Amino acid sequence: MTVFSAFTDQQVITDLTQSVPDGLVVTDNDTLREYSFSSRMTDDDSGLALAVVRAHSVPDVQGTLAVARKYHIPVVTQNQFTSTVIGADGLAGSIILSTKDMNQIIEISKADSLAVVQPGVINGDLDAAARKQGMFYAPDPGSKKISGVGGNVATNAGGMSTVKYGATKDNVLGLKVVLADGRAIKVGGRTLKQAFGYDLTQLFIGSEGTLGVVTEITVKLLPIPLGQSAVGIAFFDDMTRLADAVAAIRISGVYPTMLEALDAPTIAALDQYEGTHYGDNSGSMLIFKVDNSTDAAMTVVNDLLAQHGANHVQVTSDAQEQAALEKLRQDMLPAIFEGQNHIMEDMAVPLSQLATLMDYVQEVGQRTGLKIYTAGHAGDGNVHPTIVWPENQDMPAAVPGALQDMFHKTLALGGTISGEHAVGMLKNQWNNAELGGDVDQLQHQIKALFDPMQILNPHRKIN
């Protein structure tokens, strides 16, 4: 039987163009490919979007959703497109709604300790603007220089400063959101305490564009700490001893800003990338930062490092030297990705189980023969095992099983298989395993309430 479409692509595009008053509707093939695929090297156009809307205003967002409802077309909201979990790639015939051009810092209020921004504002740009007024924006994902605040909200991004200042959800006061039915709502506000009604602000944070389109964000700002900061590195014989040291520092009362771990293969990759020789020292590296490095605080840190077998400890208060040490962590991914295909994972466990998970990842690598680099935000139990293989070869057959083993182990330790990178399409089939059947069902009921036509980023987050 022949099935005839009720409308043509050109009808949709014409309607879309008329419904977007301030933005742009783009349909050329090069742009569609650029926005549709996070892997720029793909030759597969099967998932090519129908159109890209570069929204400049709330009416642009509302108009796009109106067309999507009319024709029952999926809408994938996209910000700076830095997702690592296929969370914002185009779907075949979908509309990609890009908010990266909504990039104005609307307000910075030192008196109220907050900023109001549009979703396309780059995280690092917001922080830089706040620092000009003696404040700073605390969330510091590894993509700080390139990721948008809207994308950070969509994924509840974490990062290197989470150990002290929390993830994105801990730094958002309020949101403006356009719902699937076109209503523009405000949740949360400008106060540091809010107890009225259900907390819808937190519901939207981390929802990955499946419940609404965020158009404005009110975030907390903090005063730049007094005193002198310090950054240091320390080396350990193995990741287990490093994890034990991290746990001790974490509960010492020092409140470090950063506790980052790198294993021996990662250090070796950095040495090759940077021309350094840190791998000569030992089997793992800890990079740490303390905002207010009083003598008492640093004495505690040094004593705990010594008690747990640290060696070659280096600490500096010099700004340039601090930046150079922090750059080691920032360059970690380019170093291990260079010339290799990769899958980077994102598990988190209770701090008491960090060493156990570190050991298990090493065991998986030895058992399967896979090359696994392990690093991550050790201060909050967030580990990023990265499996690599030569870029001219197919993915090794052992990879899926290794990932499943690590996921099952993480859940058995009371952890989560998505600490900060979101769920996207790579992990949405694990919802029942991590959340349980009853909560999995509730997740789908919430989705149906906010998006009954299932047009907002379908097949992502909860499948």
pLDDT in tens, 404-435: 999 999 999 999 999 998 999 889 999 999 99
Average pLDDT of 134-152?
93
Nearest in space to 78 (alpha carbons), one of 111, 55, 62, 60? 55
HSE-up of residue 98 (Cα within 13 Å, Cβ side): 21
The least confident of 66-75, 317-326, 359-368, 418-427 is 418-427
One DSSP character per residue, 36-94 reads H-SSTT----TT--SEEEE--SHHHHHHHHHHHHHHT--EEEESS---SSSSS---TT-
Average pLDDT of 296-306?
96
pLDDT-above-90 percentage for the chain: 85
- Which stretches within 159-316 are classed as H helix? 162-165, 200-204, 239-250, 264-274, 295-307
Q: How far apart are CA 422 and CA 348, in angstroms?
A: 12
The least confident of 4-13, 223-232, 265-274, 309-318 is 4-13
Q: What is the pLDDT of residue 269?
A: 92
What are the structure tokens assigned to 245, written together?
Answer: 């040291």
449 dihedral zone (left: phi>0; alpha: psi -120 to 50; beta): alpha
Is the pLDDT higher at 5 or at 185?
A: 185
Q: What is the pLDDT of residue 282?
A: 74
Q: What is the pLDDT of residues 47-91, one digit of tens each?
A: 899 999 999 999 999 999 999 999 999 999 999 998 888 889 999
CB of 257 within 8 A of CB of 163? yes
Arithmetic mean of pLDDT over the chain: 93
Q: What is the pLDDT of residues 156-173, one digit of tens each?
A: 999 899 999 999 999 999
> Which phi and psi (to 5°) does residue 451 adopt?
-140, 70
Q: How far apart are CA 423 and CA 207, in angstroms?
A: 9
Q: What is the pLDDT of residue 348?
A: 96
Q: At residue 184, what is the residue type? A: A
One DSSP character per residue, 88-153 reads S---TT-EEEE-TT---EEEEETTTTEEEE-TTSBHHHHHHHHHTTTEE-----TTTTT-BHHHHH
Q: What is the pLDDT of residue 283?
A: 85
Q: How far apart are CA 290 and CA 274, in angstroms?
A: 24
Structure confidence at residue 4 as a pLDDT band (50, 70, 90):
low
Q: What is the pLDDT of residue 382?
A: 95
Q: How far apart are CA 383 and CA 403, in angstroms?
A: 13
Q: What is the pLDDT of residue 117?
A: 98
The least confident of 168-177, 351-360, 396-405, 434-443 is 351-360
> Which phi and psi (to 5°) does residue 372 adopt?
-125, 120
What are the structure tokens assigned to 16, written together?
Answer: 């879309």
Q: What is the pLDDT of residue 291?
A: 93
Q: What is the pLDDT of residue 151?
A: 96
Q: How far apart are CA 113 and CA 107, in angstroms?
A: 11
CB of 91 within 8 A of CB of 100? no
Q: Which residue has the tokens 């640290």?
A: 310
15: pLDDT strictly greater than 90: yes
Q: How far apart are CA 253 and CA 372, in angstroms?
A: 33
Structure confidence at residue 152 as a pLDDT band (50, 70, 90):
very high
Q: What is the pLDDT of residues 26-54, one digit of tens each?
A: 999 999 999 999 864 455 666 899 999 99
- How far CA 237 is from CA of 243, 283, 332, 345, 375, in Å, comes to 11, 5, 20, 24, 15
What are the structure tokens assigned to 258, written together?
Answer: 């950063």
> Which phi and psi (to 5°) does residue 315 adopt?
-135, 140
Q: How far apart are CA 98 and CA 408, in angstroms?
A: 35
Q: What is the pLDDT of residue 41?
A: 45
